[in-house]
Amino acid sequence: MIDKSALWIVIIALGVGSFAFRFVFTGLIGNRAMPDWLLRHLRYTAVAILPALVAPQVLWPAATGGSPDAPRMAAAAVTLTVGIITKNVLAAIVSGTATLYILLFFLN
């Protein structure tokens, strides 16, 4: 059973901490110029962080207890390929999801 006062401490600390992370640069630096080398690194934030976030979930999904899963890997590959070719987010999501469900249905 989760202790109620601990729960509220966690909720409030996470709320304050998460807001601080989200606000730290936009809030404190604001309109002041940032150095070129820093801006050059920041241009790659999205293309680095998000693939790094999903890569372990694609190869070792928690849902299968961490063992590689063909339907999930195929779905990831199809999503990425369709996204790169069509540049259409919805088309990529729909084809990836369809791949996942079709393979899960036939393989499991």
Partner 1 sequence: MAATTSKSIYREGVVAGLPFILVIIPFATLFGLLATEAGLSVFETLAFSVVVIAGAAQFTALQLMQENAPTIIIIASALAVNLRMAMYSASLTPYIGGAPLWQRALCAYVTVDQSYVVGIAKFEKSPEMTVPQRVAYFLGAVTPVVPLWYGFTFVGAYLGKQVPESWALDFAIPITFLAMIAPMFRTLAHVVAALVAVIVSLIVSQIPYSLGLIVAGAAGMMAGAQVELWTSREAGT
**Rounded-to-integer distance, Cα 31 and Cα 16, Å:** 24
Comparing CB distances to partner 1, the nearer of 31 and 67 is: 31
Task: Restricting to residues 10-29, name those near partner 1 by CB under 8 A.
Answer: 10-15, 17-19, 21-27, 29
Provide the minimum distance between the beta carbon of 19 and partner 1 in the complex, in angstroms, as a whole number. Answer: 6
106 belongs to the binding site for partner 1 (CB under 8 A): no
Residues from 35 through 94 that contact partner 1 (CB under 8 A): 37-63, 71-72, 75-76, 79-84, 87-90, 92-93
Burial class (CB in 10 A: 0-12, 13-18, 19+), 69: buried
Residue (of 68, 90, 65) closest to 79 by Cα position: 90
